Amino acid sequence: MTTQKGAAKKSATKTTAKKPPAKAGGKADAVDIRPLAAGDEKALLAFARSLPPHDLLFLPRDISEPKVLKAWIRESEGGGMMSLVAARGAEIVGCGAIASDPLSWSPHVGELRVLIGPGARGHGVGRRLTQRLFARALEAGLQRIVAQMTVDQTAAISVFEGLGFRAEALLRGQVRDRAGKRHDIVILGHEVADVLARLEAFGVVDATSR
């Protein structure tokens, strides 16, 4: 009798045992990559302000400032910049853009800017976002992409080098953080078609259909 009760107790324990909660967000398949819209302003500002200030240094302007963010959204909606966000529900976990100047001597060149929140890193979100941006660049007729970042952003540099980017210039003391400290910027470059070919070789294809 005691044996039967013990077995029943073990069975009940197995039945009622709770499964550990699923790990929160970050996986690429749970994130929607879509164009930046005016309605994203509040969520995008919250995202920008959640990042370490150092992560923003490679950008020409501080997007954690509302007026800068508003100007970016206006430019994107007006077609002056190709901008995408990575959203998980109402939360933005990443954003990216390709900026180009069709009236300059380099209308075939675009500058790639990608930001991924710490909680979404390492899950393929940045790869998907970059893939979409390169597809947009190709559709727009851009032939060359450059990217810049501080020299201590080694993880980001490694990702870009893995796609075939190569360091082409070092600008010493190019940016200054909020504490007044100056940082060096490295500029990397690559051909658009070559990067897309490399992404496809990694099994990341059909960029425009996802």
Task: For residue 181, give both structure tokens.
Answer: 């400290």
Determine how β-strand 91-99 pairs with β-strand 109-116: antiparallel
Query: Quick one: average pLDDT of 106-112?
Result: 93
Q: How confident is the model at residue 119 (pLDDT cuts 50, 70, 90)?
A: confident
Distance between CA atoms of residues 167 and 147, nearest Å? 9
Selection from 16-20, 25-29, 44-48 with the highest mean pLDDT: 44-48
Domains in the chain with CATH codes: 31-209 (3.40.630.30)
Element housing 185 (H / E): strand 182-191
Whether the predicted pLDDT of 90 surpasses 70: yes
Whether the predicted pLDDT of 21 surpasses 90: no
Rounded mean pLDDT of the chain? 82
For the entire predicted model, the pTM comes to 0.76
Whether the predicted pLDDT of 156 surpasses 90: no
The neighbour count for residue 116, using CB atoms within 10 Å, is 25
DSSP string, 48-99: HHHS-GGGGTTSSS-TTSHHHHHHHHHHHHTTSEEEEEEEETTEEEEEEEEE
Distance between CA atoms of residues 151 and 83, nearest Å? 25
Q: What is residue 182's three-state secondary structure?
A: strand
